Amino acid sequence: MTASVNTISTQSAEARNAGDVVLDVSDLSVAFPTEEGVVKAVSNLTYQARLGRTLAIVGESGSGKSVSSMAVLGLHNPKRTQITGSIKLDGIELVGAPASTFQKIRSTKAAMVFQDPQSSLHPFHKVGKQIAEAYQAHNKVSKQVAMKRAVEMLDLVGIPNPQRRANSYPHEFSGGMRQRAMIALGLVNNPKLLIADEPTTALDVTVQAQILDLVNDLQKEFGSAVILITHDLAVVAETADDILVMYAGRGVEKGSAKEVLAQPSHPYTYGLLQSLPSHSEDLEELRAIKGTPPSLLNLPSGCSFHPRCEFKSQVEGDACWTQLPAWRPTPGLHNREIRCHLADPVATLKHDEEAR
């Protein structure tokens, strides 16, 4: 397994310096016009993904975490999507780029692993062929060479007997094996960025652990940037370096993953962590966030979280209702940014936790 890693990772002659920004998203907005109105799936999103690091994008359904990543690969139907702002992948501007640009960067510069490996592989095509196809699309090689590469990749992701398994159909694989094959497909062209969209949500717990380990190991080998989209904060705690918390299409908090989870400084992040059962074991009641996420057709004025926020009374005046909070460093914390009007969120949240 390790033998092939070396040959594969050294194929790329480009130097990969850990920490280099490979994806620079700034002021990105994605909207879908519908009959009922415009769905504002992502609004003014800014973040960076760096080589050698894992960025977790966390949020609930409708937070825009998947939509923003699909925009990186140009997977939205351009006729039914309005995208503004900037997405720079390895220096290439992708907002407004023609289809040919996306065709070139897909799989070579950025690849995606999807949530459900069962439905994400083509049921009629053999697994090896599906991987080889992605390799052949970007390398002028014969079918045999591409197939050999596919078998190597299957070996790399820990599929036993890869030569034989390459000739199997997806339905002949188990769930965990299918997700491994999806990862092999994602890495076949050695992209600088791998986006994993809820890669373990459809898998069993023991298999989830294997897949997360695999992604971590491969990242070390390849030195690529990984964006991990998930709703599971425990997964973030164990696998991510950086975190971006999203709510209703906007980023609300970003920083180091471990620090944010240990000491959240935005009321939404705080609320999410408080609501986890593991946090309040043996407490009679879980601390739920009140209410439900807003409709993306009709976002609340000001801060989108204000209708559910417990702390809005501590902000003077009507800022929470009327003004969209801008990104700013959290007072008192290093390397942390939030979008919140609270004057001293760290103190406010700490006071709240102690009062419980």
Partner 1 sequence: MLTYILRRLALALSVILATLVSAFLLFFAGPSDPAQAMCPETRCNATRLAAITKSIGLDKPLTVQFFDYFKGLFFGRDFVYAGDTVHCGAPCLGFSFVTRRSVNEELFTRFPNTIVLALMAAVVFVTVGVTLGIIAAVRRGSATDRGLVGASQVLGSIPYYVLALLVALYPVILWNVLPQYSSISAGVGPYFMGMLAPALILGFVTSASYVRYTRNSMIETLSMDYIRTARSKGISERTVLYKHGFRAAMSPIATILGLDIAALLTGTLITEQIFGVDGIGRRGLAALKAFDLPVIMGTVLIGAVVVVFMNLVVDIAYSFIDPRVRLS
Partner 2 sequence: MSAQTLLKVTDLQRHFPIREVQGLRMVRATVKAVDGISFSVKEGQTLGLVGESGCGKSTTSRLVTRLDEPTGGTIEFGGRDITHLKEHELRDIRRDVQMIFQDPYSSLNPRQTVGAILSTPLRVHGLHRGKEKARVQELLELVGLNPEHINRYPSEFSGGQRQRIGIARALAVEPKLIIADEPVSALDVSIQAQVMNLLAKLRNELDLAFIFVAHDLGVVRHFCDQVAVMYLGKIVEFGDKKKIYEAPEHPYTQALLSAAPDINVARGIAPKERIRLIGDVPSPIDPPSGCRFRTRCWKAQDICAQEEPPLVTATADVASRAFREGGVHLQACHFPEVKTDLVAEVPA
Q: Is 116 in the site for partner 2 (CB under 8 A)?
A: no
Q: Is 292 in the site for partner 2 (CB under 8 A)?
A: yes
User: CB count, 10 Å around CB of 15?
Assistant: 8
Q: Is 13 in the site for partner 2 (CB under 8 A)?
A: no
Residues 6+ apart with CB under 8 A from 199: 113, 114, 115, 179, 182, 183, 211, 212, 215, 228
Q: How far is the CB of 210 from partner 2 (least distance, A)?
A: 7
Q: Is 275 in the site for partner 2 (CB under 8 A)?
A: yes
Distance (Å, rounded) from C-alpha 321 to C-alpha 354?
Answer: 27
**Which three-class secondary structure state does DSSP give residue 49?**
strand
Residue from 19, 98, 123, 277 touching partner 1 (CB under 8 A): that is 123
Smallest Cα–Cα separation from 197: which of 24, 73, 327, 22? 73
Our CA angle for 16, 209, 212, nearest 5°, is 20
Q: Which does 129 bind (CB under 5 to 8 A by kind): partner 1, partner 2, none?
A: none
Q: Is 289 in the site for partner 2 (CB under 8 A)?
A: yes
Contact set for partner 1, span 32-61 (CB under 8 A): none
Pattern 138-177, partner 1, x by CB under 8 A: x------------------------------x-x------
Is residue 246 within 8 A of residue 57, CB to CB? The reply is: yes
Residue number with CB closer to partner 1 (108 or 263): 108
Q: Is 286 in the site for partner 2 (CB under 8 A)?
A: yes
**Which three-class secondary structure state does DSSP give residue 283?**
coil
Q: How far is the CB of 147 from partner 1 (least distance, A)?
A: 15
Residue number with CB closer to partner 2 (15 or 288): 288
Q: How far is the CB of 102 from partner 2 (least distance, A)?
A: 31
Q: Which does 182 bind (CB under 5 to 8 A by kind): partner 2, partner 1, none?
A: partner 1
Residue number with CB closer to partner 2 (137 or 276): 276
Contact set for partner 1, span 73-102 (CB under 8 A): 73, 75, 79, 99, 102
Q: Is 239 in the site for partner 2 (CB under 8 A)?
A: yes
Beta bridge partners of 251: 246
Is residue 83 within 8 A of residue 95, CB to CB? The reply is: yes
Distance (Å, rounded) from C-alpha 24 to C-alpha 313?
Answer: 36
Residue number with CB closer to partner 2 (131 or 236): 236
Report the Cα 203 to chain-centroid distance in Å: 17
3-state DSSP helix/strand/coil % of the chain, to nearest 5: 40, 20, 40
- Report the interface residues with partner 2, using CB under 8 A: 60-61, 174-177, 204-210, 212-213, 231-239, 257-262, 271-273, 275-281, 284-290, 292-293
